[in-house]
Structure 1
Amino acid sequence: MTASAAQKARDGVRTAILSSRMESIARKMQNTLFRTARSGILNTAHDFSCVILTADCRFLAAAESLPIHTLIGPDLMCQAVKKHHPVLKRGDCFLHNSPYEGNSHAADHCLIVPVVDDEGILRFFVLAKAHQADCGNSRPSTYLGDVVDVYQEGALIFSATKIQSDYQNNDDIIRMCKARIRVPEQWWGDYLASLGSVRIGERELLALGREVGWDVLEDYAEAWFDYSEKKMVDAIGRLKSGRRVIHAAHDPFPGVPDGIPVKVDVTVDALAGKITVDLRDNPDCQPCGLNLTEGTSVSAAMVGIYNGIIDHGVPANAGSFRRIEVLVRENCCVGIPRHPFSCSVATTNLADRVSNPVQRAIAEISAGHGMAETGPIMAPGMGVISGKDPRNHDEPFVNQVHIGVTGGAGTAVTDGFLSIIHAGNAGMCRIDCIEVDELHHPIFIKARYLVPDTEGAGTFRGAPSAYTELGPIDGCTMQVLYTADGTINVAEGTRGGGKGGPVRAMKRELDGSLTKLPPCYGVTLKPGELVVSYSAGGGGYGSPLERDPARVLHDLMEGWISAERARSVYGLVTTGSLVDGTLAVDQAATRSLRASLRQTQ
């Protein structure tokens, strides 16, 4: 080995070691927040993200974080901190949740700490973003899709607001939050958890800088970015070059009775190692809470790209971002919002209508890559519940639950991720434990199961829908607010794959009858009344007649598909019986039936 080759190997080892150290710091931040947060949306559902950025606001490292939170938004938010506070000192901490300056939506409170070395030089930023149970909205939900503007939304908006100086709280801001938030002590606990997270990140980075030297860390960051960019170039180089324009649409909704059409223009230049997504030819901001922020518009497109390249060896950071261009415009519902349009639901519904077409476009351009569409959300099974808890002296409670939601899309190599929840969180959020929810809240969960024949059929199928029934315990009245998409425009398949099942919402009355509910609604439940929720199924990838018969048999035996669907859609012929355990694939008859079905397609 030559001297230069040996040095290159040593540099590579050092980069790998420091990358691991950075990720371990982000994980310490994550574990702190997860273990100390008070609200269920954080300590059960895991709806938060922890990241590290360079001093010039480039995304460097993250723990197990939500992509819609972390890909580009933290860069924009740290830039806002530097804009409004040119002089940053050790001990500063900033509260930021402005949707007009890079954040996702007002419910995601971000604490941002500048990491300043012993000489007073800014070296890094650490950021913890945590979805709040309540953020001061006009109604007890952090997702208000039916509001006409930010004033009707009512959320407290903080723009790079200094909440700590010299490690001491700004009590004016603390009092403001406690006065406006319905669960002030819960918010206070979550604030302290987030604060502990960023302060631990600051402490660990200062220790690392003192240990290895700040110049070494700066060199590492540039080397890591360069390595990540090369990995992205290689991944894009395995795709075919091409362009696809995919049209999607959000369902009709309050304020947008015709829904919101979305056009996504995707160009893959495999030779140049670049992917461009153009979102500019879309409607202006709309009089509802579905508008995206700049952070969620760009990140949503990037989610579709990282999903579509199907290469988990590509680090998601500012280096690999160099090979992505997302074109957005001001005052666009999937671009840069103009005040006072509301962005209350900016992390989910319309964002998924950007991510899903991007991953579909890559599938259409390059067989063996891309994905079908992940199921739309949010059915009541992941609604925001609120009321007064009779078990706790009628103390108010507000929280989002993740009781019943699935939606994973079929890919070129796998079936849909059953508990992905939605495209933008990539499975990082978690499905609630029924027993834990019933301990934390005065809630009764009567049923939760998968719904047969709701998967998007395919060579690799989408995830089936989830059914849930939930309501209040005796002595309690409970409100459930939700903002569902996918009741009309379901998850699409790709390359011959089928559509996923629709979202549905109903109320079970005291007499047991069912009343259909609209897609965006706040239903008040008395004891004995229940809300019934069907989450969306995910789209399928490839023809179902090419699916491995053993996989079809498995789904049939699990009860995820019916015998009729197995035969008519997948062309499966079986022998024996499920009852006595002799059910098996009749290989010859299956080949014959599939050949016949192909001729009729």
Structure 2
Amino acid sequence: MQIKAINRMRTQITINDPVLLAIIQKQLDHITLQMGTVMVKTARSPIFSQSHDFSCFLSNSRGETIAQADGLPIHSGGGGFAVRALLRDFGKDISDGDVFILSDPYEAGGNHLPDWTIIRPVFAAGVLAGFCTNRAHQSDIGGGAAGTYNAAATEIFHEGIRLPVLKLYESGKRRDDLWKLLLLNSRCPDLLDGDLAAMVGSTRIGAERMSALFIELGADRADDYLDAVLAHGERSMRQAVRNLPDGVWKGADVSDNDCFELRDVETRVTLTIKGDELTFDFTGSSPQIKGFKNSSLANTYSSVYVAVSSFLDKSIPRNEGAYRCVKIIAPEGTVVNAKPPAPLTMCTVFPATDIMNACWRALEQTDPERACASWGKLVHGISAGLQPDGRMFVMYHWHGQAGGGAVKGRDGFPMTSTQMTLGGMSIPNVETYEQSYPCRILRQEFRLDGGGAGEYRGGTGVEYEAIIFTPSEHHIRAEGGRRPTGLGCVGGLSGAMADISVLELDSGKAVDVPPYGAQALPPARFKILGSGGGGWGYPNARKPELVLRDVRDGVVSVQAARDIYGVVISQDGKAVVSATPRASSA
């Protein structure tokens, strides 16, 4: 129906008509969603079929991202770096039926090594018209730790196989030698074999849909239409920026460790707004660190784009044209643009969050009404070991999640995937996990008084308890366990700190859990208190009936209702007895 509508409109209106461009953008976005459905239905790893830790996006023939509606914004925001690396290396050697693969953040425009990127060129009437891409976080890519997160890494060579831009299929024929090489470098080759096939298949479906759209538009004019789509995104973003005041503002976030010792690692940004342009200057951020919490350049760009897009009008198209008015200065050799061979695997999680928080804190000063409170940082990790049949398993403790930050008009998500996904990654069903892994999940419930108080409350985070019945290697990553990380805004309070504890199952002996590291464990019991998200606005501006609802739901205590929100609840917990006068957060 949409293509037919486009055909009718082509005879009546110009290429820059906003209605036509909106239809084309929606059609491109829908193609990425179709690709995502194919991936979920056919991938073998639970990380894809259940958690959706992948993203699909489309590019024009120059490698500019034109659609990224599916998946996680941290994956696709900097996706243009990868496609342009392909054009750099294979610009004169691209044929219909070719499929490319890459991962390396230094050489190939990747964000970190576990995210393998499959790119398929799209031809229409024999002419290269664009690219179709699936970027997905693999269960295991070798390296020093099962599950890809090697907390002992001090250089990228410790983190797994590095993939420059490689041709995985040539004119429709798979390169079996390269395929075998990839499987040989994974502890989970059976999963990887099916997952790669699913990624390739999703790009095939996407390429077919893109090619059909381009032919309907007129293959000779496809580039013109895509240029107009990008220009529309640019106009929309520039208009939104013009609504912000000119000026200079600063923001920052700080980590308290470099994965090996306690020290302040600062991400600092200076935001300059002039007319319809934004400049984010990260000069003053800490030098790159020893551990794997450095950011690649593509990841930094993506993190800034996620921060800007989530702060401004959600109707702005999410294509690369929209970010033409955004300038990023990321000094080489710092935590936001590390030089090789610095390790980078954690960059899409905590460094991305630090970058987003720094940008949000600067943007908050330009328009507090749009401010975003920080989401809590995680303390969960990965357990890896052998199934009873001898196959390797890699289990992410997704269920011990943190709470999301609040915004004006909405409380933070009670539990959600990490901040840089903006909730785009799914939390698997407990029952499915217990069927897939040698585990039992004993508890997964919202925390009491976990969310940061505010006119709009932060997400509570989760109280999680699970047993792993077989010996395993546990890889812990914990940013939220020593200080509050879900910081409030516009007078809102911070969420509760996280905590993790581990007991040996048979002896009941407590295991000392480091902030980062790998531990060989016998069967064990894990307990996680997920960080709470930050609140938005002053707590005493929250409506008393909402505080009462929170008390009855078991996420705010009677004492907190009285002492923090100024709302006294009856002894039976069914009514508000009294409330202090309401104050406005505006």
The aligned residue for residue 162 of structure 1 is 167
2:576 equivalent among 568, 573, 585: 585
Q: Is the 8 A contact 1:307 1:370 kept in 2?
A: no
| Other-structure match for 1:258 | 263
Shift of 1:225: 1.7
TM superposition shift of 1:501: 1.4
Distance 1:18 1:302 in 2: 22
Displacement, 1:135? 0.9
Is 1:193 aligned to residue 198 of structure 2?
yes
339-348 vs 481-490, greater mean Cα deviation: 481-490
Alpha-carbon displacement from aligned partner over 1:457-496 (angstroms, at most 9, x marks no partner)? 11111111211112223xx222221211122342221121
User: What TM-score results when the alignment is normalised by the length of structure 1?
Assistant: 0.91
Contact residue 256 and residue 287 of structure 1 kept, 8 A:
no
The correspondence for 2:290, drawn from 287, 290, 308, is 287
The answer to whether residue 102 in structure 2 is matched with residue 107 in structure 1 is no
Secondary structure of 1:84 counterpart? helix
Distance across 2 between alignment mates of 1:325 and 1:9: 28
Paired residues of 1:251 and 1:486 also in contact (CA < 8 A): no
Name the structure 1 match of 2:541: 546
Secondary structure of 2:229 counterpart: helix
Per the TM alignment, residue 70 of structure 1 is displaced from its structure 2 partner at its CA by 0.7
Deviation larger for 239-248 or 61-70: 239-248
Is the contact between residue 414 and residue 460 of structure 1 (CA under 8 Å) also seen in structure 2? yes
User: Residues 368-383 of structure 1 correspond to what in structure 2 (within 5 A)?
Assistant: 368-377=369-378, 379-380=379-380, 383=381
SS of residue matched to 1:16: helix
Pick the aligned partner of 1:508 from 488, 492, 503.
Answer: 503
Aligned residues: 571
Counterpart of 2:348? 347
- In the TM superposition, residue 151 of structure 1 has moved relative to its aligned partner by 2.0
Are residues 240 and 574 of structure 1, via their aligned partners in 2, closer, same or farther at CA, if it must alter by over 3 Å?
A: farther
Using the TM superposition, name which of 397-406 and 433-442 deviates more.
397-406
One-letter code aligned to 2:412: G
The residue that corresponds to 2:398 in the other structure is 402
| Percent identical residues | 27
Do residues 81 (structure 1) and 82 (structure 2) align?
A: no
Match of 2:6 in 1: none
SS at match of 2:248: strand
* Paired residues of 1:251 and 1:487 also in contact (CA < 8 A): no
Structure 2 spans left out of the alignment, 5+ residues: 1-11
1:302 aligns with 2:308: no
**Counterpart in 2 of 1:561?**
556
Question: Structure 1: which 5+ residue stretches go unaligned?
Answer: 1-5
> 1:77 and 1:10, CA in 2 relative to 1: closer, same or farther beyond 3 A?
closer
Shift of 1:368: 0.6
The one of 92, 103, 125 equivalent to 2:131 is 125
Cα RMSD (Å): 2.2
The CA deviation at 1:516 is 4.8
Counterpart pick for 1:535 among 502, 521, 530: 530
Aligned-pair distance for 1:419?
Answer: 3.3
Contact 1:27 1:64 in 2 (8 A): yes
Name the counterpart of 1:330.
332
Aligned to 1:458: 454
Shift of residue 548, structure 1, vs aligned partner: 1.5
SS at match of 2:228: helix
How far apart in 2 are the matches of 1:201 and 1:584?
Answer: 54
User: In the alignment, which residue of structure 2 is the partner of 1:90?
Assistant: 96
Give the whole-Å Cα distance in 2 for the aligned partners of 1:8 and 1:117: 22
State the partner residue of 1:318.
320
Alignment-derived partner of residue 20 in structure 1: 26
Corresponding residue number in structure 2 for 1:38: 44
2:35 to 26, 29, 36: 29
Deviation sequence 1:199-249 (CA, Å, 0-9, x none): 111122222222331234222212222222222233223333343212321
Asked whether the 8 Å contact 1:253–1:519 carries over to 2, the reply is no
CA positional deviation for 1:307: 1.7
Q: CA deviation at 1:191?
A: 0.2
Distance 1:136-1:225 versus aligned 2 partners, 3 A rule? same
Structure 1 CA distance, aligned partners of 2:51 and 2:227? 34
Match of 2:176 among 152, 156, 171: 171
Q: Choose the corresponding residue for 1:239, options 234, 237, 244.
A: 244
Alignment of 1:488-499 (within 5 A): 488-489=482-483, 490-499=485-494
Shift of 1:575: 3.4
Q: 1:574 to 1:267 in 2, by over 3 A?
A: same
Question: Which residue identity is paired with 1:352?
Answer: T
Q: Deviations over 1:310-341 (max 9, x none)?
A: x2111111121112122112222112x32111
1:69 aligns with 2:75: yes
- Separation (CA, whole Å) in 2 of partners of 1:267 and 1:145: 36
Matched, 1:51 2:51: no
Q: 1:150 to 1:19 in 2, by over 3 A?
A: same
| Per-residue deviation, residues 393-413 of structure 1 (Å, max 9, x unmatched) | 222212434112132111122
Range with bigger deviation, 56-65 or 236-245:
236-245
| Corresponding position of 1:445 | 441
Amino acid at match of 2:76: T
Comparing 171-180 and 556-565, the one that deviates more = 171-180
Matching residue's letter, 2:475: L
Contact between 2:15 and 2:228, CA under 8 Å: does it hold in 1? no
Q: CA deviation at 1:512?
A: 4.4
- Aligned to 2:263, what secondary structure does the other structure show? coil
Letter in 2 for 1:293: S
Q: How far 1:10 sits from its partner (Å)?
A: 8.8
Q: Distance in 1 between matches of 2:150 and 2:497?
A: 21
Distance 1:226 1:454, change over 3 A: same
